[in-house]
A and B are shown apart, each in its own frame.
Chain A
Amino acid sequence: MTESLKTTPLFHQHQHLNARMMGFGGWSMPVQYEGITAEHHSVRQNVGMFDISHMGKFLLKGPHLREQLQPLVPSDLSQLVPGQAKYSVFLNEQAGIIDDLIFYFEGYTDAGLETGKLIVNAATTVKDKAWLLEHLCAEQIGFEDVSAAQVLIAIQGPRAIATLQSLTPTDLNTIRNYRHQAGTILGQPAWFARTGYTGEDGFEVMVDPDTGQHLWQTLLDAGVTPCGLGARDTLRLEAAMALYGQDIDDTITPYEAGLGWLVNLDKGNFIGVDTLQAQQQNGLKQQLVGLEMQGRHIARHDYPVCLNNETVGKVTSGTFSPTLGKAIALAYVPPSLAKPGTELQVMIRNKPQRATVVKKPFYQRAKP
């Protein structure tokens, strides 16, 4: 590695646990501690935690904040109530995805200003910041980048809420899915968001670095499994959640990526709306599907997808699913081949391997 990587405030905790580290989005991050499969199962069956302090974290404040953000996203932010979060994307003029993000609407200051947080991908933090500052009314909007200043820990799994609850007076059960709230943890200020990237229930907790280190150790002592980016990838892939830079990028539109549910064409003008309207009328050239491999071969990023020896698409993500015990993948194919049950092949080291289109997500947790 030639470029020097940034480290999160939990770097020494990762070293202490003998984590295997790798560069990711400009940060030195843990890939695994004990092993990807064991960490994966901990999150599905019990509780695991991830250091996600590398993610971009912006604090925004201003008059009509949501109105100012509306042209940048295809989702309607106007209906959000204080304490509600919304998954969305920034789009370019061609409706290509600049990044995916979660906007957390907080509410109003005494002076009537709206406040909110934006959490974006690590590798795109600089690009997103520039895009926001270019498009928001700079003299009106307060913009603070706390990406390097705050710790973000995701606690995920069926036992996540119970484990975390013992450390905070905030009643976590009253914070519903995709809601968030400020409170305290271990006696220090904290922010709780019931969001995640694993397909399990859980929270993402933002605290200052000292509290973050204390919280990490406390959770470790409570038996929470530390999990790296390896398990984060297998978990999100089973849940068929897109990874920016791999499944989605600035050449892919939300409709193609299966993110049509976050597009609201009636909400008023926004960047990329023309392309999306055209796609809605004329149809798509490609769309993201789930593939299940018939054998144990793993289809990986950029492998060609074929039908009768003709390339019809390509794989964007693939892994061996620890929960299903099968190799799974996400791939772009023409809509005519996107129906579940369609038999395709993935070219793996120059040999076609059988794959079947299946419904996404690959895994869905049983709702209580």
Chain B
Amino acid sequence: MSFEYPEDLKYLDSHEYVRLENDVATVGITAFAIDQLGDIVFVELPEVGDDLAQGETMGNIESVKAVEDIYAPVSGTVLECNNAIVDAPEQLAADPYGEGWLIKIKMSTLAALDRAMSAPEYRAKVEGE
């Protein structure tokens, strides 16, 4: 199965995506990961104002069959959480890169995303799995 991976996003090994606008990173979960999880029933996110370190668990996403951690792709402070998704997690699959964003982080350093993948790199990785 093939999914959409927008060109303007950065992708992590652990299936988060990041959209960069100046020093603000909008973080979500890729369409591939959402499909792998199946029907999503629960999303737990950090609080606004929380300080996150890159790579730490910042929340989790639960489907009928499994629970997966969500990792902070960058270090920084949580600016905003998408409470609409917390209230209706089943909507996540409909628009993972738009309405399905999870949190916005004010980044503490801009160099942090060097190891992230481009859309073609991420597609090659997950479609080879």
User: Which A residues are closer than 8 A to B by beta carbons?
Assistant: 18, 31-32, 35-37, 230, 233-234, 296-298, 300, 319-320, 322, 327, 349
Are A320 and B42 neighbours in the complex by a CB distance under 8 Å? yes
B103 CB to nearest A CB, Å? 18
Interface 1/0 per residue, B1-31 and A, CB below 8 Å: 1000000000000000000000000000000
User: Which B residues are closer than 8 A to A by beta carbons?
Assistant: 1, 38-39, 41-42, 44, 60, 62, 64-65, 67, 89
Report the Cα distance A327→B42, complex, angstroms. Answer: 10
Contact A32/B38 with A298-B67, A300-B67 known, Cβ cut-off 8 Å: yes
Are B41 and A296 neighbours in the complex by a CB distance under 8 Å? yes
| A296 surroundings in chain B (CB, below 8 A) | 41-42, 62, 89
**Cross-chain contact of B41 among A18, A31, A32, A298 (Cβ < 8 A):** A298
Report the Cα distance A31→B67, complex, angstroms. Answer: 16
| A297 surroundings in chain B (CB, below 8 A) | 42, 44, 62
Report the Cα distance A89→B38, complex, angstroms. Answer: 34
Are A37 and B64 neighbours in the complex by a CB distance under 8 Å? yes
| B89 surroundings in chain A (CB, below 8 A) | 296
B45 CB to nearest A CB, Å? 13
Are A36 and B41 neighbours in the complex by a CB distance under 8 Å? no
Q: Can you list the 4 inter-chain pairs with the closest CB atoms, starting with the nearest? A: A320-B41, A296-B42, A37-B39, A36-B64
**Cross-chain contact of B64 among A18, A230, A349 (Cβ < 8 A):** A230
| B64 surroundings in chain A (CB, below 8 A) | 36-37, 230, 234, 319-320, 322
Given A37-B39, A296-B62, A320-B64; 10 other pairs, CB 8 A cutoff:
A18-B1, A31-B65, A32-B38, A36-B38, A230-B65, A296-B42, A297-B42, A320-B41, A320-B62, A327-B41
A243 CB to nearest B CB, Å? 14
A322 CB to nearest B CB, Å? 7
A292 CB to nearest B CB, Å? 15
Report the Cα distance A103→B5, complex, angstroms. Answer: 52
Report the Cα distance A201→B35, complex, angstroms. Answer: 31
In this complex, the member of B41, B62, B65, B67 whose beta carbon has the largest number of chain A beta carbons within 10 angstroms is: B65
Report the Cα distance A233→B67, complex, angstroms. Answer: 16
**Cross-chain contact of A35 among B1, B39, B44, B60 (Cβ < 8 A):** B39
B52 CB to nearest A CB, Å? 16
| A298 surroundings in chain B (CB, below 8 A) | 41-42, 62, 67
Report the Cα distance A300→B66, complex, angstroms. Answer: 9
| B44 surroundings in chain A (CB, below 8 A) | 297
Return the chain A residue nearest B42 by Cβ: A296
Report the Cα distance A322→B64, complex, angstroms. Answer: 9
Report the Cα distance A37→B44, complex, angstroms. Answer: 20
| A322 surroundings in chain B (CB, below 8 A) | 64
In this complex, the member of A298, A322, A327 whose beta carbon has the largest number of chain B beta carbons within 10 angstroms is: A298
A30 CB to nearest B CB, Å? 13
Report the Cα distance A233→B66, complex, angstroms. Answer: 13
| B41 surroundings in chain A (CB, below 8 A) | 296, 298, 320, 327
| A320 surroundings in chain B (CB, below 8 A) | 41-42, 62, 64
A61 CB to nearest B CB, Å? 40
Are B38 and A230 neighbours in the complex by a CB distance under 8 Å? yes
| A327 surroundings in chain B (CB, below 8 A) | 41-42
Report the Cα distance A208→B39, complex, angstroms. Answer: 34
Report the Cα distance A36→B90, complex, angstroms. Answer: 13
B2 CB to nearest A CB, Å? 13
| A18 surroundings in chain B (CB, below 8 A) | 1
**Cross-chain contact of A36 among B1, B39, B42, B60 (Cβ < 8 A):** B39
Report the Cα distance A18→B41, complex, angstroms. Answer: 23
